[in-house]
């Protein structure tokens, strides 16, 4: 990392109708550094990046590159100034080859004829230089997500980008792939590229970042050198208060067995899973991505066809063929992928809260709107969801508040067994802690929770017992007293 500042953003302000999305933000990036941008959802990180990328236009403020003021009014302006943004959702053309994607819109060759041979050769050269194990002729859709991300990075490098923005690049790739990504990031910084890194994962900051800038509610809070700060200080800066109890859990003696699953199989990813759950406990499910945890719960919930095995609820053998059967037996499932499996994004908070229990207020061609509002308000209050009104389109809420609405929806069916699949993925620390507190309250009232999570600290600090799965089977069950990262990983990795 040098002291050579390549990007300086000064006093950036951006207003949306009625609200300041960004208020007087200062940010600078040096050549060869990885600079983290940290903040809760809604803090303004994405807005700032969109200003830098030419998608939004800031009303006030200046951007300087290499000390010279520049105007960035379009994506093309940003590219011209060597800025490349790698979005969370990748934007490659799936049916084109890697090389074609890298050179899209600037194919080498004369006139209208693209020189394909040259293009493939050039692309392969850059890929090899960056140490990426990718063939330039591969069709992009055949690559795993992590590799697609690498193609995006290669594309940015090939455009001679010196300012690289990465928006939560590790949210959907495995640990090993993260290692590889970090290695490539380090190589890039050695070449003088500056990287702006957005992530919610604190452990990553320590590993890869040099400095960190914290934002809150659209305002600049401070910039720290990563080596001179710690997790608690950063969290305090982000949420504006010190979180004394991040994980909230009062352990109690669990009650009698409420759910027992024996030899569950779905013929695909679940190969004979058995486990049990007692009243008022949180049972964690740990394992690597692809271990079959979500598939197990979906099979239990009646979402999969051709499931075999035995399920006992309160000692009674039950036959669950559809989610409605599961709901009838007091089982709820909050799925792992909020936007794809959970939310009706164009609908409002009320619609999203009440969709499971329409029969309580829609009868004989009459909608009891008063009751509908009361039910919605009950779960807004219970979950402490922050929303301007019940009529707010849910797509406009932050991830944490979306998740709260979704959990509220599934509590509305009065479950005795609540399955939470990655309940805190991609949400900010403040909301995470609130969800832990709600889980703690729920088990105290006698609800049992099954929590699938890939975040080990969450599993370790919240669970009474932890089942570990690998390759579609339970490889062990660890009691609260013995649970640790090591004991879990030993069972998870085969």
Partner 1 sequence: MSDTKKAGSVAVSNNKAMIFLKENLGIIIALLILCVFLSVFPGTSESFPTVRNVFNVLRQISSNLLLACGMTMVIILGGIDLSVGSVIALSGVLAAGCVSRYGMAIAPAMIVGVLIGIVFGAFNGAVVAKTTIPPFIVTLATMNIARGLAGVYTGGSPVRVVSDEWQFLGAGYIGGVPVPVIIMILVFIISLLIVNRTKMGRYIYAVGGNVQAAKFSGINVAKVKFFVYTYTGFLAGLAGIILASRMYSGQPTAGEGAEMDAIAAVVVGGTSMSGGSGKLGGTLIGALIIGILNNGLNLMNVNSFWQTVVKGVVILLAVFLDYIRNIKKND
Q: CB 56 → partner 1: shortest distance, Å?
A: 8
Among 333, 405, 419, 491, binds partner 1 (CB under 8 A): 333
Say how far apart CA 243 and CA 290 lie, in whole Å. 33
Based on the shown chain and the rule CB under 8 A, indicate whether residue 318 belongs to the binding site for partner 1. Answer: no
Q: CB 334 → partner 1: shortest distance, Å?
A: 9
Identify whether the C-beta of residue 165 lies closer than 8 Å to the C-beta of residue 83: yes
CB-nearer residue toward partner 1: 60 or 479: 60
Closest CA to 400 of 42, 20, 48: 42
**Contact string (CB under 8 A) for partner 1, positions 6-45, x = contact:** ----------x-----------------------------
CB-nearer residue toward partner 1: 225 or 345: 345
Identify whether the C-beta of residue 310 lies closer than 8 Å to the C-beta of residue 273: no
CB-nearer residue toward partner 1: 112 or 346: 346
* Choices 121-129, 239-247, 309-317, 319-327 (CB under 8 A): range interacting with partner 1: 319-327
Place of tokens 């004979």: 272
Cβ-Cβ contacts under 8 Å for 282 (sequence gap 6 or more): 249, 439, 443, 448, 449, 450, 451, 462, 463, 464
CB-nearer residue toward partner 1: 76 or 322: 322
Instruction: Compute the CA torsion angle 377, 381, 385, 391 (nearest 10 deg).
Output: 10
Say how far apart CA 469 and CA 299 lie, in whole Å. 15
CB-nearer residue toward partner 1: 323 or 476: 323
Say how far apart CA 259 and CA 15 lie, in whole Å. 52
Site for partner 1 in 339-368 (CB under 8 A): 340-347, 351, 355-356, 358-359, 362, 365-367
Based on the shown chain and the rule CB under 8 A, indicate whether residue 414 belongs to the binding site for partner 1. Answer: no
Cβ-Cβ contacts under 8 Å for 444 (sequence gap 6 or more): 250, 252, 280
Say how far apart CA 431 and CA 405 lie, in whole Å. 12
Based on the shown chain and the rule CB under 8 A, indicate whether residue 326 belongs to the binding site for partner 1. Answer: yes
Q: CB 226 → partner 1: shortest distance, Å?
A: 35
Q: CB 298 → partner 1: shortest distance, Å?
A: 8
CB-nearer residue toward partner 1: 367 or 489: 367
Say how far apart CA 325 and CA 304 lie, in whole Å. 13
Based on the shown chain and the rule CB under 8 A, indicate whether residue 390 belongs to the binding site for partner 1. Answer: no
Q: Using CB atoms within 10 A of its CB, is residue 389 exposed (0-12), middle (13-18) or buried (19+)?
A: exposed
* Choices 147-155, 177-185, 285-293, 316-324 (CB under 8 A): range interacting with partner 1: 316-324
Q: What is the largest CA-CA distance in the chain?
A: 76
Place of tokens 């690289």: 164
Q: CB 234 → partner 1: shortest distance, Å?
A: 32
Cβ-Cβ contacts under 8 Å for 34 (sequence gap 6 or more): 185, 189, 195, 197, 208, 209, 210
CB-nearer residue toward partner 1: 65 or 320: 320
Pairing type for strands 83-86 and 257-265 reads: unpaired
Among 151, 303, 349, 483, binds partner 1 (CB under 8 A): 303
Based on the shown chain and the rule CB under 8 A, indicate whether residue 388 belongs to the binding site for partner 1. Answer: no
Sign of the Cα pseudo-torsion (224, 226, 231, 235, in order)? positive
Place of tokens 């909230």: 248
Total residues at the site for partner 1 (CB under 8 A)? Answer: 30
Q: CB 47 → partner 1: shortest distance, Å?
A: 12
Place of tokens 């164009």: 346
Based on the shown chain and the rule CB under 8 A, indicate whether residue 309 belongs to the binding site for partner 1. Answer: no
Site for partner 1 in 124-143 (CB under 8 A): none
CB-nearer residue toward partner 1: 110 or 359: 359
Q: CA 197 from chain center: how many Å?
A: 15
Among 370, 388, 389, 482, binds partner 1 (CB under 8 A): 370
Angle 154-156-157 from CA coordinates, rounded to 5°: 65
Among 53, 169, 335, 400, binds partner 1 (CB under 8 A): 335
**Contact string (CB under 8 A) for partner 1, positions 51-90, x = contact:** -----x----------------------------------
Among 74, 324, 377, 484, binds partner 1 (CB under 8 A): 324
Residue 331: C-alpha distances to residues 115, 383, 442 (Å): 59, 19, 14
- Residues lying near partner 1 in the complex (CB under 8 A): 16, 56, 302-303, 322-324, 326-327, 333, 335, 340-347, 351, 355-356, 358-359, 362, 365-367, 369-370
């Amino acid at each position: 990392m040098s002291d050579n500042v390549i990007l300086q953003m000064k006093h950036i302000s951006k207003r949306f109708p009625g609200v300041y999305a960004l208020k007087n933000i200062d940010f600078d990036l040096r050549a060869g550094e990885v600079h983290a941008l940290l903040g809760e959802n809604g803090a303004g990180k994405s807005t700032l990046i969109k200003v830098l990328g030419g998608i939004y236009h800031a009303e006030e403020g200046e951007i300087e590159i290499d000390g010279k003021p520049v105007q960035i009014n379009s994506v093309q302006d940003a590219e011209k100034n060597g800025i490349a943004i790698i979005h969370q959702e990748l934007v490659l053309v799936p049916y084109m080859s890697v090389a074609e994607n890298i050179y899209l819109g600037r194919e080498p060759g004369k006139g209208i004829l693209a020189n394909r041979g040259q293009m493939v050769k050039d692309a392969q050269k850059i890929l090899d230089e960056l140490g990426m194990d990718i063939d330039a002729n591969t069709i992009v859709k055949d690559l795993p997500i992590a590799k697609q991300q690498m193609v995006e990075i290669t594309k940015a490098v090939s455009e001679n980008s010196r300012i690289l923005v990465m928006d939560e690049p590790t949210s959907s790739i495995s640990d090993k792939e993260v290692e590889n990504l970090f290695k490539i990031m380090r190589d890039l910084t050695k070449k003088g590229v500056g990287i702006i890194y957005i992530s919610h994962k604190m452990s990553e900051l320590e590993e890869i970042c040099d400095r960190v800038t914290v934002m809150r509610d659209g305002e600049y809070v401070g910039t720290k050198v990563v080596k001179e700060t710690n997790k608690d200080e950063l969290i305090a800066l982000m949420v504006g208060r010190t979180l004394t109890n991040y994980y909230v859990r009062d352990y109690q003696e669990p009650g009698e067995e409420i759910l027992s699953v024996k030899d569950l199989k779905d013929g695909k990813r679940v190969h004979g899973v058995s486990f049990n759950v007692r009243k008022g406990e949180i049972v964690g499910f740990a394992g690597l991505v692809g271990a079959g945890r979500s598939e197990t719960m979906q099979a239990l919930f009646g979402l999969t066809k051709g499931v075999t095995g035995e399920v006992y609820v309160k000692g009674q053998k039950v036959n669950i063929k559809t989610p409605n059967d599961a709901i009838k037996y007091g089982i709820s499932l909050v799925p792992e992928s909020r936007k794809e499996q959970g939310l009706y994004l164009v609908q409002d908070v009320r619609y999203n809260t009440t969709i499971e229990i329409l029969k309580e207020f829609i009868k004989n061609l009459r909608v009891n709107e008063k009751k509908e509002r009361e039910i919605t308000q009950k779960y807004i209050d219970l979950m402490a969801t922050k929303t301007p009104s019940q009529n707010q389109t849910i797509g406009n809420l932050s991830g944490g508040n979306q998740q709260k609405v979704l959990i509220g929806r599934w509590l509305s069916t009065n479950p005795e067994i609540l399955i939470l699949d990655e309940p805190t993925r991609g949400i900010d620390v403040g909301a995470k802690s609130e969800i832990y507190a709600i889980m703690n309250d729920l088990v105290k009232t006698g609800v049992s929770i099954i929590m699938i999570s890939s975040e080990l600290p969450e599993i370790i600090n919240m669970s009474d017992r932890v089942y570990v799965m690998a390759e579609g089977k339970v490889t062990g069950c660890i009691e609260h007293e013995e649970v640790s990262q090591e004991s879990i990983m030993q069972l998870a990795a085969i």
